[in-house]
Chains A and B, each alone.
Chain A
Amino acid sequence: KQEVTQIPAALSVPEGENLVLNCSFTDSAIYNLQWFRQDPGKGLTSLLLIQSSQREQTSGRLNASLDKSSGRSTLYIAASQPGDSATYLCAVWTGSARQLTFGSGTQLTVLP
C-alpha cells in the first residue's frame, strides 16, 4: 500500500527566505508526482507535475525534484513571500493503487 509522508508538518519562515519542503513515498513504482497548494477551505491548485522519467520541474520560483529510486521529492521555493502561505501537498499516482495518494501536507507561513 502506497504511503506518502511530508515533513515538516508546519513551517514558519521570514519573508525572502528560500525553503525546502520534503515528500517521501514507500512504493517507488509511481507514474508521476504532483505538488499542490491549498488555501484554507479551498480547493487544490496544481503547482508542478513530475513524470516518473523526469528528475525535476521548474515553474517561476518553484522547483521540484524527484528521486524515484529513493522515494523522495523536494519542493524548493525561492525568495518566499507572504502570499506563499498555504498548505502544500504532494501526491503520487501508483499503478497498483490506481489513485492519487496524498501526503498530509506542510502548512507554510511566511511572515512579512
Chain B
Amino acid sequence: EAGVTQSPTHLIKTRGQQATLRCSPISGHTSVYWYQQALGLGLQFLLWYDEGEERNRGNFPPRFSGRQFPNYSSELNVNALELEDSALYLCASSLGTGGLTEAFFGQGTRLTVV
C-alpha cells in the first residue's frame, strides 16, 4: 500500500513568487497535516485538514494557506515567498479525527527561495 506521497520533491522559487506543494494521503485517511522544518529548527505545525475542512492553523502568516480536496489530497500554497520560507515541508495523514490514530509522514518537499 502506498504511503503519503508529496510532490514535487524539490522546488526552487524566487522571492515574491508563489509556491504550491501537494500531498496525497494514505488511502482511507481523511486527516492531513502540514509542518515546516527549517534548517536547524524543529517541526512547526502549519495546518490540519479533516473531511475537507480546516480544523486548526499554526502561528503562521495568512500567506500560508491550503485546502483539502474531496479525495482528501491536499495542497499548501505559500504566497509572496520570503527567503526564510526555505525549509522542508512535511505532510502527514491519519485515519479519522486528529490525535486518536497514528500519523504517517511523507518524504517532504524541499522549498528553496532565492
Q: Which residues of A are at the interface with B, using a C-beta cutoff of 8 A?
A: 31-32, 34, 36, 41-46, 49, 89, 91, 93-95, 98-105
Contact = CB atoms under 8 A, between A and B. Distances in A.
A99 B56 contact: yes
Contacts, number: 59
Interface string B27-44: 000000101000000110
Nearest to A98: B56
B52 interface: no
A44 B90 CA distance: 8
Contact of A44 (B55, B98, B105, B110): B105
Contacts of A104: 42
Contact of B45 (A31, A42, A46, A101): A101
A8 to B, nearest CB: 16
Contacts of B56: 98-99
A24 B88 CA distance: 25
Interface of B: 4, 6, 33, 35, 42-43, 45, 48, 55-56, 58, 88, 90, 92, 98-108, 110
A89 B108 contact: no
A102 B103 contact: no
B25 to A, nearest CB: 13
Sort A-B residue pairs by CB-CB distance and give the 3 closest, nearest first. A93-B99, A31-B99, A44-B105
B105 A98 contact: no
A105 to B, nearest CB: 7
Contacts of B105: 36, 43-46
B75 to A, nearest CB: 17
B79 to A, nearest CB: 22
Contacts of B103: 34, 46, 91, 100
